[in-house]
Structure 1
């Protein structure tokens, strides 16, 4: 990375003074990286104990978006580290925790606090994504608690695979879970992620039993997740969860392909096209047939 690039990366997103209500915002992603967040200077030997205590986390990036990662304008923070290896991952650089920047919980919460006015005006809040945020449960818990103490609405974007890492106390500080249900058939799930399906299903059931609101996300990949029986299995499961308020069918795209190449990772979906409009509508109709609200 050149000096010029570093300077550009450190500019970050602008801090908006609320002299008037803000009702706009980006519906597309434009990450600021970790610009505006001061990395921890703790010695490596100290970092492990700080991470175990939730005082320090590995942060990939953050961004300010509207109508993408929950209602209203959201500050979405992407944590590094993920146990899944999804074939279509568009941020493979978040898979390994070591690729993130060490950032203290206090530093991150100070950044979150700057946007309280925007959150109040738009009905937005803080979303913690990844990677997989539950790879860093202590840090996640501290951030959620800090946000709740400031009166900020919270959401987590998770595959649910590490749902066992999410304590009931942590869920008390979560208003919304964006649950990524990547397949309804175990064999397909294993093909997509390299992992087992059941932990995700169990976490979703637990959320519903607690009364936690859920938005389900399903990535539609031609030739991989689009089979009628696979979608039907997802739809039946989602319909069984009483607290699901919406389903988002996300069409596959190739926007992350270059990242796989730059990381020296083998990308298996190079020849996979984006789904046609007809295919997307067929899949959405399968969810609608179960009485679900679909986007």
Structure 2
């Protein structure tokens, strides 16, 4: 039985996929996004060990409820593709249980996702942090190209995607970069929607508890007008943006 490292789980509605979701937070992430709201999921060592059977036993308690609510199970993190075997088995078992399955990922480790894993995935929530490679590197500490390659692969396989874009004033609001991403995403036939997510500081208390500096503690959230402008840029390419 495959064992993984998990942080926690929760129930959500409408954010982590369609309907009410059982959301599993895995431990470990290779990125260090400046605006990360979950620094407590960065390290595998901080998680708790769990088998697939143990996780499925928890999911089973809510299966009838989430199914009736048109939902399913979403695996997020951290970064679920840091533990590809664990994530793959959970997705497969979820499909066997008749649940809608989703993976929330940056796509940076997309090469670790086998075709079999993706066959068991009904939806990928793909967080593309920026379309400017330099900004992406400064914002996350990683490279942009693997995420774009993963998006292209998902499209070739016909895996539905929701693109998630965190809007941070002065970081991800440059019109040219947003336009470039919109053009790229519009060329992917399996993208169902784009979620423009305004930057927030709800995770600030976690940094304080961990004794870590929050890099964007004093940074402003975007004004409603800026958020709508960015959504309109995506809509101008025929995309459904929210």
Q: Quick one: which of 138, 141, 146 aligns to 1:199?
A: 146
Q: Distance in 2 between matches of 1:233 and 1:268?
A: 26
Residue equivalent to 2:75: 128
Query: Offset at 1:120?
Result: 2.5
- For structure 1, the residue ranges without an aligned partner over 5 or more in a row are 1-53
Residue equivalent to 1:242: 189
Deviations 1:122-160, CA, capped at 9 Å, x for gaps? 211000000000010111011111111111110000000
Residue equivalent to 2:12: 65
Query: Offset at 1:274?
Result: 0.7
Residue equivalent to 2:133: 186
Residue equivalent to 1:91: 38
Query: Offset at 1:265?
Result: 2.1
Residue equivalent to 2:124: 177
Q: Distance in 2 between matches of 1:237 and 1:131?
A: 26
**How do 1:212-251 residues align onto structure 2 when only pairs under 5 Å count?**
212-251=159-198
Residue equivalent to 2:47: 100
Query: Offset at 1:116?
Result: 2.0
Deviations 1:171-192, CA, capped at 9 Å, x for gaps? 0100000000100010010011
Residue equivalent to 2:231: 284
Residue equivalent to 1:111: 58
Which entry has the higher C-alpha Rg, 1 or 2? 1
SS in structure 1 of the partner of residue 23 of structure 2: strand
SS in structure 2 of the partner of residue 76 of structure 1: strand
SS in structure 2 of the partner of residue 146 of structure 1: helix
How many pairs are equivalent?
Answer: 242
Residue equivalent to 1:263: 210
Deviations 1:173-227, CA, capped at 9 Å, x for gaps? 0000000010001001001100000000000000000111000000000111111
Residue equivalent to 1:139: 86
Deviations 1:70-128, CA, capped at 9 Å, x for gaps? 00110000000000000000001111111111111100011112222123212110000
Residue equivalent to 1:56: 3
User: Structure 2 length as normaliser, TM-score?
Assistant: 0.98
Q: Distance in 1 between matches of 2:19 and 2:39?
A: 27
Query: Offset at 1:292?
Result: 0.3
- For structure 2, the residue ranges without an aligned partner over 5 or more in a row are none
Residue equivalent to 1:274: 221
Residue equivalent to 1:151: 98
Residue equivalent to 1:4: none
Q: Distance in 1 between matches of 2:221 and 2:122?
A: 32
